[in-house]
Amino acid sequence: MFGARPAKRDPQLIALIVKAHEARRELAALGAGSSKDQRRELGRLARLSYLAPDIISAILEGRQPEPLTARQLIRNSGLPLGWNEQRQQLGFG
């Protein structure tokens, strides 16, 4: 679906997706005594757990666009909520 190049799994990108889902669960379980910095860091990671399901599948299978890296994804603070917009911004469309 996303290009004809052979699949090439990126361990760092996959680990980031796993961490994002873990952060989402941790954020939901945080109590009132958690620090603002802790919530902010978890929130920064957790937002990546809301990527379109086909984008996550492509990353796990190694079908992501070649220029997409974990570093680029984590630094992308303007990631849209809409899945079509995510695909366009990250090079899947």
| Neighbour-count burial of 52, counting CB atoms closer than 10 A to its CB (0-12 exposed, 13-18 middle, 19+ buried) | middle
What pLDDT is attached to residue 16?
A: 97
Give me the residue spans of the domains in the chain: 11-90
Angle at alpha carbon of residue 55, lines to 50 and 58, rounded to 5°: 140
What pLDDT is attached to residue 61?
A: 96
**Model confidence, pTM:** 0.84
Q: Examine the pLDDT at 58 and tell me if it is beyond 60.
A: yes
pLDDT bucket at 9, cuts 50 / 70 / 90: very high
